[in-house]
């Protein structure tokens, strides 16, 4: 199934699904990033693979393979998985399962992409008569992903779904504890695929990307995140490319990391 000229979905293994909705949600993710000028010239082939989700390069071809383990009409999981892997696709660094350098930061940012694209999908569904009945399910799924120790970090007003409430601000103490957390978990973050750590960090990064979507413009500049020895080194690189429309947001995000 050709979703766009650059996104092809191999339907084998995904089960029975609504092709119109799946194409729409995949497009919504591409369109979200394209709206701030973040795009890739490389085509994508999406396949079902129970070992996924994963984004990897196709040998000898200028295209990427995105493996998803979801299927059917589990729309929330389609968005969650594809948004994460599409974020890796846009960064286009070392598409390998290695944890050196700041790979942990790339993984955390890609988790944020999943949260933001779920929020965006809920907004799209809220505007469609045939899909608005699914909004609460999407929001519940997102809240579940962002719930830490019983505290909801994302809390839209269900009673006024046309205007989803922005994220409930995270107290400054969380930023301090984030820095402490990174220091305490640095060995694990840099030596193993530490999913719990990525999720923890992504919750604190979420407000910066949510409140200023221009911050997503840093994705292509992250490059192969294994090359960066520290957040400070990455920041020095990003400073040469930063634009005024997200300069303060970048400074704030880096501040909570270091």
Write down the domain spans for the chain: 1-117+170-258, 118-163
Picking from 32-46, 49-63, 177-191, 239-253, which range would have the lowest pLDDT averaged per residue?
177-191
Q: How far apart are CA 108 and CA 121, in angstroms?
A: 20
Q: How far apart are CA 161 and CA 163, in angstroms?
A: 5
Token pair 């699904």 is found at 17
More confident residue, 94 or 11: 11
In this predicted structure, the answer to whether residue 170 has a pLDDT above a threshold of 80 is no
Question: What is the per-residue pLDDT for 96?
Answer: 73
Average pLDDT, the chain: 87
Q: What CATH architecture applies to the domain 1-117+170-258?
A: Orthogonal Bundle (1.10)
Tell me the pLDDT tens digit for each residue of 127-152: 999 999 999 899 889 888 877 544 44
121-128: list long-range contacts, CB under 8 Å, 24+ apart.
121/25, 121/28, 121/75, 121/79, 122/156, 122/161, 122/164, 123/164, 124/24, 124/28, 126/161, 126/162, 126/164, 127/162
In this predicted structure, the answer to whether residue 209 has a pLDDT above a threshold of 50 is yes
Question: What is the per-residue pLDDT for 195?
Answer: 87
Q: How far apart are CA 99 and CA 80, in angstroms?
A: 22
Tell me the pLDDT tens digit for each residue of 29-49: 999 999 999 999 999 999 999
Q: How far apart are CA 184 and CA 113, in angstroms?
A: 25
């Amino acid at each position: 199934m050709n979703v766009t000229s650059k996104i092809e979905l191999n339907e084998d293994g995904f089960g029975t699904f609504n092709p119109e909705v799946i194409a729409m949600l995949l497009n919504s993710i591409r369109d979200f990033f394209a709206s701030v000028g973040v795009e890739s010239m490389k085509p994508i082939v999406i396949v079902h693979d129970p070992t996924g989700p994963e984004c990897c390069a196709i040998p000898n071809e200028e295209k990427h393979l995105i493996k998803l383990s979801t299927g059917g009409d589990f729309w929330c999981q389609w968005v969650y998985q594809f948004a994460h892997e599409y974020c890796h696709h846009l960064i286009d660094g070392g598409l390998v399962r290695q944890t050196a350098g700041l790979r942990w930061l790339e993984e955390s940012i890609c988790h944020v992409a999943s949260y933001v694209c779920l929020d965006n999908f809920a907004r799209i569904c809220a505007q469609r008569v045939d899909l608005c009945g699914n909004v609460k399910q999407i929001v519940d799924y997102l809240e579940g992903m962002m719930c830490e120790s019983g505290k909801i970090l994302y809390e839209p007003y269900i009673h006024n779904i046309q205007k989803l409430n922005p994220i409930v601000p995270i107290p400054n103490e969380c930023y301090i504890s984030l820095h402490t957390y990174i220091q305490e978990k640095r060995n694990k973050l840099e030596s193993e695929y530490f999913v719990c750590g990525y999720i923890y960090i992504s919750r604190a990064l979420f407000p910066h990307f949510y409140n200023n979507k221009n911050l997503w413009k840093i994705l292509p500049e992250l490059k192969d995140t294994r090359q960066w020895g520290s957040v400070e080194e990455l920041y020095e690189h990003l400073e040469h490319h930063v634009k005024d429309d997200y300069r303060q947001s970048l400074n704030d995000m880096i501040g909570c990391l270091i």
